[in-house]
Amino acid sequence: MKKSVFLGTLAATTVLAGVAFGGTLDDVKKRGELICGSNTGLTGFGMPDANGNWVGFDVDLCRAIAAAVLGDATKVKFVPTTGETRFTALQSGEVDVLVRNSTWTFSRDTELALDFVAVNYYDGQGFMVKKDLGVSSAKELDGATVCIQTGTTTELNLADFFKQNNISYTPVTVADDSEAQRQYLAGACDAYTTDASGLAASRATMPDAANHIILPEIISKEPLGPVVRHGDNNWGDVVRWTYFALLIAEEKGVTKANVDEVAASTADEEVKRLLGVSGDMGPKIGLSNDAFKNAIKAVGNYGEIFAANIGEGTTINLARGLNALWTQGGLQYAPPLR
């Protein structure tokens, strides 16, 4: 029986001081660490590099939240979650916030008792096919074999799309993105369907990118964003406004590099409130007054995060498209900070 103590001590020392219901902000502060549910590895959005540091578009949002709440962008623990485990991990309090390209849908928002607090990436489901297949529209895919990831909303969208257009298909279900890409490249399916961003990312890394085309049809709306538990409104506000702060920063031209300078010299009242020079926006949601400034300083504004991880010029090379600021014809729009 000697060894059962091992388990006991293990339990005693690794139990996290997480209280699942209410007061996530206080828990995070007390713990001194933000626990962020992330992908198990999705190029550009969230994956660990060779040194075990997490990098990616979603990861940077987590870091911004940590910087806003704790003043230190490194105090984040990333818990990799799979399609099956992600929402349970959030519901049970294992993670504080889930930033894992999860689609905002009615049933997830209501039945699963989750709150989608913002949309950090507007996406839609598309199809990629090889050029020599001679197909120019998804409606010509009658009888095709389609590779699809399980555990996502995409399989429902796919079924609906083919049904509406009264054409048939054979689904080939795969476990994850890299496996889907392998199958598609090997010719095990005629078309690969997932979020358009994922398609572009896959296409960018293919040795013969020019031989693949992404079909014009976008068959669904996929608003992807950070998720928190239902009922903890204060924490939801923290996550939501940290994200909006990054948007406002881009809108006002505040960047990682010039944030201190702008804070000292700006005459714009909203920027002053954003950077905590005037007003008490931070304390109103339980943060310090320079919380948003810390967030911007740590990871940069929304545009910088986008450009650094997935934007044009990176290997993934995504255009801003719908994710451009509203001032530039996109959908990213932050309510006024006042």
Sole residue written with tokens 């549910």: 37
Q: Scanning residues 167 to 206, which ones bind other proteins (CB under 8 A)?
A: 169-178, 181-183, 185-190, 205
74 binds other proteins (CB under 8 A): no
In this structure, are residues 146 and 217 in contact, taking their beta carbons and an 8 Å threshold?
no
**152 secondary structure, DSSP code:** S
Pairwise CA distance, residues 182 & 156, whole Å: 22
Closest CB 210 distance from other proteins, rounded Å: 15
Helix (H, G, I), strand (E, B) or coil at 118: coil
Closest CB 161 distance from other proteins, rounded Å: 11
Binding segment for other proteins among 104-112, 250-258, 289-297, 329-337 (CB under 8 A)? 104-112
Q: Scanning residues 3 to 22, which ones bind other proteins (CB under 8 A)?
A: 3-16, 18-21
Closest CB 30 distance from other proteins, rounded Å: 14
Nearer to other proteins, 234 or 258 (CB): 234
Amino acid symbol at 215: L
Q: Measured in Å, how far apart are the chain's first and last C-alpha atoms?
A: 62
Would you list the DSSP string of 273-321? Answer: HHTTSSS-HHHHTTS-TTHHHHHHHHH--HHHHHHHHTSBTBSS----G
Binding segment for other proteins among 76-84, 216-224, 273-281, 320-328 (CB under 8 A)? 76-84
79 binds other proteins (CB under 8 A): yes
In this structure, are residues 310 and 254 in contact, taking their beta carbons and an 8 Å threshold?
no
Closest CA to 322 of 251, 222, 215, 216: 222
92 binds other proteins (CB under 8 A): yes
213 binds other proteins (CB under 8 A): no
Closest CB 130 distance from other proteins, rounded Å: 10
Closest CA to 126 of 197, 206, 41, 52: 197
In this structure, are residues 223 and 106 in contact, taking their beta carbons and an 8 Å threshold?
no
In this structure, are residues 229 and 113 in contact, taking their beta carbons and an 8 Å threshold?
yes
Pairwise CA distance, residues 129 & 141, whole Å: 10
Binding segment for other proteins among 139-147, 262-270, 276-284, 290-298 (CB under 8 A)? 139-147
Nearer to other proteins, 110 or 327 (CB): 110
Q: Scanning residues 264 to 303, which ones bind other proteins (CB under 8 A)?
A: none
Nearer to other proteins, 113 or 257 (CB): 113
Binding segment for other proteins among 62-70, 154-162, 246-254, 272-280 (CB under 8 A)? 154-162
Pinpoint the alpha helices (H) of 133-225. 154-164, 177-186, 196-205
Q: Scanning residues 35 to 64, which ones bind other proteins (CB under 8 A)?
A: 40-44, 47-52
Nearer to other proteins, 21 or 333 (CB): 21
23 binds other proteins (CB under 8 A): no
